[in-house]
Amino acid sequence: MKLTKILSMTAVVALGTVALHAADAPKLSADEMKKATQIYFDRCAGCHGMLRKGALGPWIRPESHKDKKGATHGTLALGFETLKSIIFNGTPGGMPGWGKSGELTKEETELMAKYVMNTPPQPPEKTMADLKKSWKVLIPVDKRPTKPETTRNWKNYFSVILRDIGKIAIVDGDKKEIVSVVPSGFATHIVRNSKDGRYVYVIGRDGKASMIDLWMKEPKNVAEIRVCNDARSIDTSKYEGYEGKYAVVGCYWPPSIVTLDGKTLEPLKQVATASYTYDEGVFTREARVASIVASHFKPEWIINIKETGQVWLYNYTDVKNPTIKMIEAERFLHDGGWDSSKRYFLVAANARNIVSVVDAKEGKLVANIPSQGTKPHPGRGANVNSSKFGPVWLTGHIGSNDIVAIGTDPEGHKDNAWKVVKKIKLPGEGGGNLFIKTHPKSKYIFADRPVNPDRKLQTQIYVIDKDTLEVAKTLPIPEKYLKSADPKVKMRGPVHFEFNADGTEVWTSIWGNKKTPSAILVYDANTLKLKKAIEDPRLITPTGKFNVTNTMGDIY
């Protein structure tokens, strides 16, 4: 994919090659800068930031900088050889080994080491006029079906992200076959369903939002818009009386919130999120929107601002004149999910090893909980009604082998509320967990570990017993599903879990590469037997999977 399609970076590349080199940095040609900027956007910006000031990953600008712990960071001081080794091999703290996995060549690894020793170019902004130019209604509302055209069980469809080719596969969960493959933005991060499940809202890392109508015999996009240059989150209005009226996108760059019409994606309102950090009062332009959930108690979105450490309660009743309550939480907010009551939202401030809890009913911070691990990364997390501790919510960690359970019932189990009540150690050393998931009808919790550097640990599924809250079993992925057409490129192993609508099956993807299709493996959620491998040449880099029933109901 061309760089201009991602970021319209011509002016940015010119700045990077003419004016912004540190004196001692390796010199890059315009073509090298263009290529490196693309790779950085694809692989690195999410953790290190567009301006490379760090969040989940550390500061990687050329000038030296001391973090809150007193550690000094600066790429010029680290030097070319050290940077090359880190990029190629990764780190135990969760940095992928891009060269070791074959996703970057030796030459690309060396290019990126040189690139991060240069001052980053300033990315472009977006105006409302830019948004409107990109907005397309592909199928008008009055031309869409008035009832489902399909005889399939569409509420058991899975929306499967085909990450590196910018597409979404709609898979029939009953028949285990692809219904349609729909274009999306690059490296789709998440999808969300409307409250009735009909529409799938998609956000790509390139800021392209689109919506898919599942009532069509062959689901396809009905509207699309380029909201920003870099984005991670999307959701819809779900409160009574506002169901599906609005959609909202949270942008990484320009850091902003964009409200859209829920049926057409017409842009209605932009709100900048650049602000002051809650703890030190330092202004930051790059205050990115990390995650969004729709409140079940009020006409609000709960919007998490990564760098400032604020949770915004964004009231959408008057879309042109929204009201925002800013809650001080903790810095570098990332992802999270509801507790089982859907009153409390738990979100990881992963660079601070904190889980912040927000009460959606009362509109306040309940607690900042030390996660007792390194870099919590829950995805949506997992809810369990423990016989010993009562209702708990679990998260894993990228940087350590800890799965922790946090008590979430302040009324029925007050002594266990808002603290870690159980720590589960995954086998082996290091972290690498990205997602855990369960379902009320399964007796297990499932955890992945795709960014652990150990090949054995990377290619197993970790099965945790809900009753004992201990690892009950590991399921190695059969070797035949890990083979790549290019022997230099390794399949990462299983990533992300999702259950079917009735909770009897759990699905996981084999995180592959653009050169080789990879399978989706379907396991019995209670016997743990592999029931089906969905293999199709169209399944290129399948990652996240989102079942309609579970997504519309916030079941996890």
Phi, psi of 15 (to 5 degrees): -60, -45
Query: What is the rounded CA–CA span in Å between residue 543 and residue 378?
Result: 16
**95, 112, 211, 228: which is the annotated catalytic residue?**
95
- Tell me, what DSSP letter sits at residue 178? E
Annotation marks residue 44 as catalytic? yes
Could you give the CA distance from residue 269 to residue 319 in angstroms, rounded to a whole number? 7
Query: Which class for 254: exposed (0-12), middle (13-18), buried (19 or more C-beta within 10 A)?
Result: buried
**Helix or strand holding residue 5 (H, E):** helix 3-7
SS3 472: strand
Helix H segments across 448-547?
A: 455-458
Q: Can you list the positions of beta strands (E) in 408-492?
A: 420-425, 436-437, 444-447, 460-465, 470-476
Query: Any catalytic annotation for residue 251?
Result: no
User: Is the bond into 254 cis (omega within 30 degrees of 0)?
Assistant: yes
**Within a 13 Å sphere around the CA of 355, how many CA atoms are in the beta-carbon half?**
35
Give whole-number Cα distances, 249 to 196, 219, 304, 448, 488, in Å: 19, 22, 12, 27, 37
Q: Counting beta carbons within 10 angstroms of the beta carbon of residue 15, is it exposed (0 to 12), middle (13 to 18) or buried (19 or more)?
A: middle
Q: How far apart are CA 76 and CA 74, in angstroms?
A: 6
Catalytic residue among 9, 33, 48, 251: 48
- The active-site residue out of 9, 50, 112, 334 is 334
Q: Helix (H, G, I), strand (E, B), or coil: what is residue 415? A: helix
377 is catalytic: yes
What single-letter amino acid sits at 137? V
Structural tokens at position 308: 């400032």
- Set 9, 33, 47, 216: catalytic member: 47
Alpha-carbon distances, residue 426 vs 95, 189, 358, 431 (angstroms): 18, 26, 28, 8
Q: How many CA atoms lie within 13 A of 108 on its CB side?
A: 19
**Residue among 92, 108, 112 at smallest CA distance from 44:** 112
Measured distance CA(359)–CA(341) in Å, rounded: 11
Q: In which element (H, E) is residue 36 found?
A: helix 30-43
Q: What is the rounded CA–CA span in Å between residue 223 and residue 48? A: 31
Active site (annotated) includes residue 47: yes
**Strand-pair partners of 390:** 386
Nearby residues of 224 by Cβ (< 8 Å), 6 or more positions away:
134, 135, 136, 138, 208, 209, 210, 211, 265
Q: Which residues of 455-487 are buried (b: 16+ CB within 10 A; e: fewer)?
A: eebbbbbbbbebeebebbebbebeeebbeeeee
Residues identified as active-site: 44, 47-48, 95, 334, 377
